Structures are given as C-alpha cells and as structure tokens.
C-alpha cells in the first residue's frame, strides 16, 4: 500500500520503503486537552503553515485536516452514485481541502490513516473505555483506520458495528482459557519465514504484515503491523522452497494485505509463482475492497489479469461496508475476470444476527461476490468479547438456508485450533433413520423421508 512519498504515484513500495511504513513510529498516546477534545472540530482555526494537524509534535495528524489559509482551495465535494453520503459529509467536515483526486488515491488514503488517540479523538466521541484502551496501548495489534473507512464509523456510538471492529477496547487486554497468540499453530508449520505449509498441496504465503486498517479480532495479530515482515528479504527463499515442493499446487497470498503492495511488486510475486509449473491455483486474500476500495485501480486490475487463473477472497463483515465505492471495487475485480468469494468472521455485537448476515450476503451477491466462508472467530488472545457461541453460528446458517438463495449461504467453519484446518458445521437436518428411510427436516421444520436402504438390502436387479 502505501505510498511512502508523495511524488511517485506509480512507484511500488520497495522493501526498504515498505519496512519504513510498517515500522512507522510506535503508537504514542498523548493526553489531550479536554477542551480540544470536546470542541466542535474546526481545523481551519488551527491552520498553520505546516500541512499537519495540531495534535502533538510527535504525533502529527494525518495530512491536511489543516492547511494554511493561503494554500486553501475550495474543493467541491460531489455526491454521486459512486460515493457514500456519509463519506461526503465526513470529507466536508474534516478534509475540506483535500481534492477528489487525492481522496481517491489509495496511497493518499494510506498515508493519512488515523493511528492514535490524538487522531481518533478529533473525529470520534471516544468512550471512556476506548480512551483507556488507546491510552494504555500495548495490545498485540496497532491501530490504523483509513480516512475512507473512518467516514463509515458512527462518531458518537462506540457500539456501532464497524467502529467496534477497528477501535480498540480494554477487553483486548483480557485473557481467557483456550486463547492463544497463534491459535492456528501457523508458526509451527512454517518451513521458511513467511510461508505456512500445513497441508500437502496448499500453502499460505504471508507477503507482508501491513494492512491499511487493522481489525481488532485479527487472527494474525501476533505478526500483523509489527514491521517485521519485509517482502524483499524473504520472498526469494519462499520461491526457492516452492520450486522444490512439487506437491504444492495451491498458493494463498495473504498477510497483512497483499494489495498493500504496489503493482510492480505484485506483478513480480505473481509472475514468480506462475513460473513454477506445479502451482496451478493462486488466490489472494484481501480486505481492501471494504476498507480501501480506492486501491482497486485500473492499473491494479491490468496487472492481476495477467496472471489468471487468479481467485480472490474478500473480507467483509457487515452490510455497512457495502458502499458504492466498495461495489465499484468489486465490479472492477469481477470485470477483470477474477472469481470473488467472501470471507466473514462471526463477531458478537457486529454481525451475529440473522437479518444482518442475510443483508450482508445479499449485498455481496449484488456486488458479484459469492459468499464463501463464515468463520467462527478464532480464539486469539483478547478476543472473548468478539466470540459468539457456535450455537449462534448454526442459528444464523439455519436462518439463511432455505430463506434466501443458496448462493447466499456461506459455509460455516471452525478453523481448528492447533492447525487442524477448516471444519464445516451445519445445523442438523438429519432427524434419524426409520427402517430403510432417512428422516430429514427442511428449513421450515417439516419432516421428509428419503429411501436409503443399506446396500446389501438392495436387490441386484429390482426386476427379478
Ligand atoms: S485485514 Fe486481515 S490481516 Fe489485516 S488486520 Fe484485518 S484481519 Fe488482520
């Protein structure tokens, strides 16, 4: 992602630049004057000659929430079918100087992420708990939210679904039995750094550890956002391993978010994988269309379409993420011939209701994304406040199956702790056996019989 300087839009991040980005200054949580905190936001009053916010010297605000009067341009904000009304309003209020071109530039969005208490409190009315969590810091995962995604958050309600997923709470500091930093045991199945080889024919390639927006329930909190995975110094070793591992036919590129890499770097990675004859199937896992849809540029899709067959798993949580911008991003990917599947984590207080999940699945289908997996939340350390019961997940699947199109029903899975892989879960539609009949129930609870005699009871020739 990430543009690391402002003058070379087409230049992909080099490893050096990338590591500079991911190892950006540790989050510093200054105390903020309550007068500043509580006043209506008007950054124009704080205008100075520097294009940075008057937060603290050590923790400048993203970009141009302030600008000098001399530099100020009147930027006309348009509401179009391709723009969320909430986003238009947010821009009008907090980024009045930012041009349409800048706002739509994924590198600008990335550079201007909200990352600290000083940033968040200028656009959100923080609860005491959020403030406490941001002040204490020290969770496994840094904070980061793109301006675009921030525009979708409710500024006053800390319980809003999207807000809960990106603004930390003190619940992250609590540890419960069964939780682990690496619940899927990935580190124990890593033959070379950055590669997880747990199943014979498929591997997980962690291309980088940077994400534009950090999800508070991230399974890879232990590595994501820490600036330790630089793509340059480990990819060559990964490719060499894969060239020897002739049983591998399927590579999932994840991270962090692989689409945070520039086009050249992605082109190179995909090209290297495509050059390995036994690798037939390449997938990319990304949350960009939801948190930074501006990343899905025509330049990106031109690169991706060079490496077909290529599949993508898109991380969506809630129907509020299905904005016009996000829809356009998915359309671009689909138009590039990339089959799109969704991945959704079941989260308490976020999407653990049938109607919310149904709405999300419906919207994804209209965005040409096939609902693929619904994950039971992994028991990552500090995730208890997000985890529902499995019964809740089954209830949601039962509320979808038969009540919407079959294409709208994802497969509900538990990724088995310790590295057992995905185990599918279904409501129990098999009531039992009655003689040669299976007794089944349908989505309405009605019972039906299906003839299913044991094989040795079936006559060899029913005509005899
Ligand atoms: S986008 Fe994926 S890798 Fe990044 S923080 Fe969210 S869940 Fe973790």
Tokens in use for 249? 């036919």
Please say whether the beta carbons of 38 and 125 come within 8 A.
no
Q: With a 6 A CB cut-off, is 224 part of the ligand 1 pocket?
A: yes
Q: With a 6 A CB cut-off, is 287 part of the ligand 1 pocket?
A: yes
* Shared domain check, 298 and 362: yes
- HSE (CB half, 13 Å, CA atoms) of 158? 14
* Shared domain check, 263 and 191: yes
Average pLDDT, the chain: 84
Q: 355 alpha carbon to ligand 1 midpoint, in Å?
A: 25
* Shared domain check, 438 and 390: no
Q: 432 alpha carbon to ligand 1 midpoint, in Å?
A: 41
* Shared domain check, 253 and 399: yes
Model pLDDT for residues 113-154, shown as the tens digit of each residue: 999 999 999 999 999 999 999 998 876 789 999 999 999 999
Domain count, the chain: 3
* Shared domain check, 140 and 233: no
* Shared domain check, 441 and 414: no
* Shared domain check, 301 and 257: yes
Answer whether residue 84 is part of any domain. yes
Question: Which of 137-151, 169-183, 315-329 has the highest average model confidence (pLDDT)?
Answer: 315-329
Residue-level pLDDT at 48: 27
Q: With a 6 A CB cut-off, is 220 part of the ligand 1 pocket?
A: yes
Q: 225 alpha carbon to ligand 1 midpoint, in Å?
A: 9
Q: With a 6 A CB cut-off, is 217 part of the ligand 1 pocket?
A: no
Q: Which residues of 219-243 are buried (b: 16+ CB within 10 A; e: fewer)?
A: bbbbbbbebebbbeebbeebbebbe
Answer whether residue 21 is part of any domain. no
Structure-model confidence comparison of residues 224 and 115, the more confident one = 115
Residue-level pLDDT at 137: 80
Q: 220 alpha carbon to ligand 1 midpoint, in Å?
A: 7
Last residue of a domain, one of 126, 143, 169: 169
Residue 68 has pLDDT above 80, yes or no: no
Q: With a 6 A CB cut-off, is 259 part of the ligand 1 pocket?
A: no
Q: 284 alpha carbon to ligand 1 midpoint, in Å?
A: 13
Going by C-alpha positions, the residue among 391, 395, 414 that lies closest to residue 403 is 395
Look up the CATH number of the domain holding residue 307.
3.20.20.70
Q: With a 6 A CB cut-off, is 216 part of the ligand 1 pocket?
A: no
Q: Tell me what percent of the residues of the chain surpass a pLDDT of 70.
A: 80
Answer whether residue 288 is part of any domain. yes
Model pLDDT for residues 96-114, shown as the tens digit of each residue: 999 999 999 999 999 999 9
Q: With a 6 A CB cut-off, is 162 part of the ligand 1 pocket?
A: no
* Shared domain check, 117 and 240: no
What pTM value is reported for the model? 0.83
Answer whether residue 116 is part of any domain. yes
* Shared domain check, 363 and 224: yes
Q: What value does the mean pLDDT take over residues 335-354?
A: 98
Order of strands, sheet of 250-254, starting from the edge strand that comes earlier in the sequence: 195-199, 202-206, 250-254, 281-286, 310-315, 340-346, 370-376, 411-416, 421-425
Answer whether residue 6 is part of any domain. no
Answer whether residue 384 is part of any domain. yes
Q: With a 6 A CB cut-off, is 186 part of the ligand 1 pocket?
A: no
* Shared domain check, 138 and 214: no
Residue 459 has pLDDT above 80, yes or no: no
Answer whether residue 307 is part of any domain. yes
**Exposed, middle or buried: residue 165 (CB in 10 Å: 0-12, 13-18, 19+)?**
buried
Q: With a 6 A CB cut-off, is 242 part of the ligand 1 pocket?
A: no
| Ligand 1 atom with the shortest distance to the CA of 254 | 3
Structure-model confidence comparison of residues 442 and 185, the more confident one = 442
| Ligand 1 atom with the shortest distance to the CA of 291 | 1
* Shared domain check, 193 and 55: no
Taking the C-alpha atoms of residue 357 and residue 350, their distance in angstroms, rounded to an integer, is 10
Residue 350 has pLDDT above 60, yes or no: yes
Confidence of residue 183 (pLDDT cuts 50, 70, 90): confident
- Whose CA is closest to atom 8 on ligand 1? 218
- Whose CA is closest to atom 5 on ligand 1? 214
Residue 35 has pLDDT above 90, yes or no: no
Task: Supply the range of the domain harboring residue 160.
Answer: 27-169
- Whose CA is closest to atom 1 on ligand 1? 287
Answer whether residue 198 is part of any domain. yes
* Shared domain check, 454 and 407: no
Q: 216 alpha carbon to ligand 1 midpoint, in Å?
A: 8
The residue whose two tokens read 């950006």 is 24
| Ligand 1 atom with the shortest distance to the CA of 214 | 5
Structure-model confidence comparison of residues 15 and 281, the more confident one = 281
């Amino acid at each position: 992602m990430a543009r690391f300087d402002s003058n070379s839009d087409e230049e992909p991040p080099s490893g050096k630049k990338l590591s500079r980005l991911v190892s950006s200054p540790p989050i510093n949580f200054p105390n903020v004057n309550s007068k500043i905190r509580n006043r209506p936001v008007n950054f124009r009053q704080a205008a100075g000659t520097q294009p940075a916010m008057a937060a603290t010297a050590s923790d400048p605000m993203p970009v141009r929430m302030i600008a000098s009067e001399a530099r100020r341009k009147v930027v006309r904000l348009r509401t179009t079918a391709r723009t969320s009304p909430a986003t238009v309003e947010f821009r009008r209020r907090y980024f009045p100087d930012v041009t349409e071109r800048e706002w739509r530039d994924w590198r600008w969005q990335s550079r201007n992420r909200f990352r600290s208490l000083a940033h968040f409190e200028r656009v959100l009315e923080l609860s005491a708990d959020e403030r406490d969590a941001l002040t204490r810091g020290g969770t496994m995962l840094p904070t980061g939210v793109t301006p675009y995604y921030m525009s979708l958050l409710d500024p006053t309600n800390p319980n809003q679904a999207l807000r809960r997923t990106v603004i930390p709470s003190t619940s992250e500091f609590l540890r419960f039995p069964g939780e682990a930093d690496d619940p899927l045991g990935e580190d124990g199945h890593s033959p070379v750094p950055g590669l997880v080889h747990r199943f014979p024919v498929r591997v997980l390639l962690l291309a980088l550890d940077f994400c534009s927006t950090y999800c508070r329930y991230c399974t890879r909190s232990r590595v994501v956002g820490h600036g330790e995975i630089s793509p340059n110094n480990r990819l060559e070793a990964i490719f060499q391993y894969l060239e020897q591992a002739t049983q591998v036919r399927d590579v999932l590129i994840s991270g962090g978010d692989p689409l945070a890499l520039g086009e050249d770097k992605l082109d190179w990675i995909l090209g290297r994988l495509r050059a390995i004859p036994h690798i037939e199937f390449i997938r990319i896992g990304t949350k960009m269309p939801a948190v930074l849809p501006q990343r899905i540029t025509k330049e990106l899709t031109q690169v991706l379409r060079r490496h077909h067959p290529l599949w993508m798993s898109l991380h969506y949580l809630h129907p509020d993420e299905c904005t016009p911008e996000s829809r356009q991003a998915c359309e671009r990917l689909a138009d590039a011939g990339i089959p799109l599947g969704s991945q959704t984590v079941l989260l308490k207080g976020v999407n653990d209701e049938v109607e919310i999940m149904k709405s999300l699945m419906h919207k994804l289908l209209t965005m040409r994304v096939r609902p693929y997996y619904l994950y039971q939340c992994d028991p990552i350390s500090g995730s208890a406040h997000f985890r529902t019961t499995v019964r809740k997940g089954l209830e949601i699947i039962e509320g979808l199956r038969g009540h919407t199109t079959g294409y709208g029903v994802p497969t509900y899975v538990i990724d088995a702790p310790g590295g057992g892989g995905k185990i599918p879960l279904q409501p129990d539609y098999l009531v039992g056996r009655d003689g040669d009949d299976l007794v089944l129930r349908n989505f309405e609870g009605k019972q039906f019989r299906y003839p299913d005699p044991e094989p040795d009871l079936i006559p060899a020739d029913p005509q005899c």
